[in-house]
Amino acid sequence: MLYLLTKNRNKYEEIAELCKASNLELLMLPDDKIELQADTLEEVARYAAEQAYSKHNKPVIVDDSGLFIDALNGFPGVYTSYVKKTIDSKGILRLMDGVSNRAAYFKTVIAYADSDRIELFEGIVRGMIADSVHSGRDFGFDNIFIPEGYNKTFSELSIEEKNSISHRARAFNSFLSFYKGLVYK
């Protein structure tokens, strides 16, 4: 049995949808992710997975994600969660007022921990920061992020559509190839 440590329903829904296709059962472990103050998603995800495994003694994955805006030198990056809670999408749009370079990317790092190992998997999707807050599914900064090749924000796509290109799906699918090798070896 595999657990996803998160209290975030949206993350769980997206990842659970990806599991369906592989017949993998994934349970939500609704505990706090211990957030290390660090410069990279990799460090945050690794530490949180280590802590989660030692606390729960179950094979666990942790997803740490962030939005990196080119014109803001990668901000909010590892601080995405704090920026969401404070200035939110409207605040980001204010920071981007008059900025013509709207390029940005989302990145997810998934850390897997069990008794023998910790492994990291990453996924990135590039796109643009919209000019206004869009409607749709309410998840993080999805309402201002337009993925490359689309003219809608992530919030306006279905979970299946988002999963066909997202940072999270890319990271998770790379984890899945590793995990299948582990389970079926």
Q: Enumerate the active-site residues.
A: 64
Interface with ligand IMP, residue 68, by CB under 6 A: no
Q: Does 173 bind ligand IMP (CB under 6 A)?
A: no
Residue 91 C-beta: closest distance to ligand IMP, Å: 13
Among 81, 119, 137, 174, binds ligand IMP (CB under 6 A): 81
Position 51 contacts ligand IMP (CB under 6 A)? no
Q: Which of 168, 169, 172, 179 binds ligand IMP (CB under 6 A)?
A: 168
Residue 154 burial (10 A CB sphere; 0-12, 13-18, 19+): buried
Burial class of residue 155, CB neighbours in 10 A (0-12, 13-18, 19+)? buried
CB nearer to ligand IMP: pick between 81 and 114: 81
Footprint of ligand IMP (CB under 6 A): 8, 63-66, 80-81, 84, 106, 139-142, 154, 168
